[in-house]
């Protein structure tokens, strides 16, 4: 007979044994089931949280953006001539950076901010004004809802035009459409040509809108701020942002950019790049602690279940000593008995683990739903849960199977 035939026979035998002792078998499978469910559930809940956190991160303008910002080099006393002559962060830095890796960079934008008195027919407030350049609107997750965006010539010329966030639009023009209306920013009359879509992001459904402040934006061309509001001779900007989705590419790029900008700035360390390495570390370690806790609780459940199984198996072995004796008398070797017990235990483990996966999905779904987080499950979690259960099932089956295989046929037959 082929070995696969022998295996099938053992499987059949194991199945009969399980079916005949459904109560005991379910009890044994329960340990595995709970272990698998808790491993899978733990991983999935942690994956879901992580995915949510990553989404938040990306949407907050985090992971895919490399920012360059000015840094004050002179804290005390007078600036040196070199420091004074230094140009600060400029559009040229953006252009030079872009030229480094045009293939990997999905967008470059610059920002020149001002704080100013903003007046309409309805409101008169002191507000931040965002001067934007490049791909600022898409790169920062904004989208024009009504009206239009800035044209290239408007950006270039610093035309007196503005796009408002929903909150700004509602504040300065509470009735009627803001489009075509005039807003006075400082001394400059500016025409509203568009409004942005409302920005909404909640970590959980019942939480408040984390992006609410983004709806307060009053966007104008950066060159308008530069020329007529808050400019200087060097055309300094407040922030340059490169959009690079691939973190590894970003890490390499940031090193090159550092050199380029340092050269542009006459070796003055008056700017600051985002720390990409820290970002990578943070991303990699997101939820690690939770994974560990869940893994540990799963392992504990499996170990607990395994110990219970050993006990049940040893107790049931007492009932089955005679059966083992009979099989041995008929010619079953110790090895055959061992394989029989192992097959039974592994079949039980497999069935329990399958049920555990189902329960685990249900469990994760319930928990993530109650947290208001979308469920995220990865194939790796399923594989982990299954492999761990099989491993523990295997390990804890060894002792009873070994005990059974070592029975003396004579004594086993005499056993009452």
Among 286, 322, 371, 394, binds another protein (CB under 8 A): 322
404 is a site residue for another protein (CB under 8 A): no
- What phi, psi does 287 have (nearest 5°)? 75, 5
Q: Choose, by CB under 8 A, the member of 52, 327, 339, 403 that binds another protein.
A: 327
For the chain, the helix, strand and coil percentages under 3-state DSSP, each to the nearest 5:
60, 15, 25
User: Does residue 410 belong to the site contacting another protein (CB under 8 A)?
Assistant: yes
Exactly one of 212, 290, 323, 402 binds another protein (CB under 8 A); that residue is: 323
Cα–Cα distances in angstroms (integers) from residue 101 to residues 104, 108, 244, 250, in the given order: 6, 11, 10, 10
Distance CA 302, CA 59 (A): 39
Cβ atoms of 238 and 89 closer than 8 Å? yes
Q: Give min distance, CB of 332 to another protein, in A.
A: 5
Beta carbon of residue 402, minimum distance to another protein (angstroms, whole number): 13
State which of residues 77, 102, 180, 331 lies at the interface with another protein (CB under 8 A): 331
326 near another protein, judged by CB under 8 A: yes
Backbone dihedral region for residue 244 (phi beyond 0: left; psi -120 to 50: alpha; all else: beta): beta
| 151, 285, 333, 366: residue in contact with another protein (rule CB under 8 A) | 333
Cα–Cα distance for residue pair 185/120, rounded to 1 Å: 9
User: In angstroms, what is the C-alpha Rg of the chain?
Assistant: 34
Q: Does 7 bind another protein (CB under 8 A)?
A: no
CA–CA separation, 172 and 164 (whole Å): 9
335 is an interface residue for another protein by CB under 8 A: yes
Segment interacting with another protein (CB under 8 A) among 56-64, 164-172, 279-287, 408-416: 408-416
Closest CA to 39 of 351, 374, 290: 290
CB of 342 to another protein, least distance (A): 17
Contact segment (CB under 8 A) with another protein among 65-73, 317-325, 377-385, 386-394 equals 317-325
Chain contacts with another protein (rule: CB under 8 A) = 1, 5-6, 9, 16-17, 20, 322-323, 325-336, 408-410, 413
């Amino acid at each position: 007979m082929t070995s696969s035939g022998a295996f099938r026979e053992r499987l059949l035998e194991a199945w009969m044994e399980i079916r005949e002792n459904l109560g005991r078998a379910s009890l044994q499978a329960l340990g595995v089931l709970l272990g698998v469910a808790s491993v899978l559930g733990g991983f999935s809940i942690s994956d879901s949280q992580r995915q949510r956190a990553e989404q938040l991160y990306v949407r907050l303008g985090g992971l895919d953006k490399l920012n360059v910002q000015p840094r004050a080099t002179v804290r005390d006393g007078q600036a040196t001539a070199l420091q004074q002559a230094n140009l600060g962060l400029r559009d040229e830095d953006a252009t030079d950076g872009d030229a480094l890796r045009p293939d990997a960079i999905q967008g470059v934008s610059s920002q020149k901010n001002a704080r100013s008195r903003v007046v309409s027919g309805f409101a008169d407030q002191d507000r931040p004004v965002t001067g934007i350049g490049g791909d600022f609107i898409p790169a920062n997750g904004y989208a024009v809802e009504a009206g239009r965006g800035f044209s290239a010539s408007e950006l270039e010329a610093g035309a007196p035009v503005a796009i408002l966030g929903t909150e700004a639009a509602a504040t300065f023009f509470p009735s009627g459409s803001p489009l075509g209306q005039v807003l006075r920013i400082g001394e400059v009359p500016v025409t509203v040509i568009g409004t942005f879509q409302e920005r909404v992001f909640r970590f959980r459904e019942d939480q408040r809108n984390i992006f609410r402040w983004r709806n307060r934006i009053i966007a104008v061309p950066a060159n308008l701020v530069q020329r007529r509001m808050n400019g200087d001779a060097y055309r300094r900007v407040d922030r340059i942002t490169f959009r690079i989705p691939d973190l590894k590419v970003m890490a390499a790029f940031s090193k090159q950019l550092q050199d380029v900008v340092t050269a542009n700035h006459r070796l003055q360390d008056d700017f600051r790049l985002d720390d990409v390495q820290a970002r990578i570390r943070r991303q990699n370690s997101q939820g690690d602690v939770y994974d560990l806790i869940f893994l540990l609780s799963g392992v504990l459940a499996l170990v607990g279940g395994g110990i219970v199984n050993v006990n049940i198996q040893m107790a049931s072995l007492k009932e089955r000593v005679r059966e083992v004796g009979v099989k041995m008398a008929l010619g079953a070797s110790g090895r055959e008995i061992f394989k029989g017990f192992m097959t039974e235990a592994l079949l039980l483990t497999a069935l329990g683990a399958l049920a555990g996966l189902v329960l685990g999905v249900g469990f994760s779904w319930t928990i993530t739903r109650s947290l208001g987080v979308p469920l995220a499950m990865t194939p790796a979690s399923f594989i982990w849960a299954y492999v761990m259960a099989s491993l523990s099932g295997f390990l804890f089956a060894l002792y009873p199977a070994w005990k059974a295989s070592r029975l003396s046929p004579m004594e086993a037959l005499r056993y009452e």
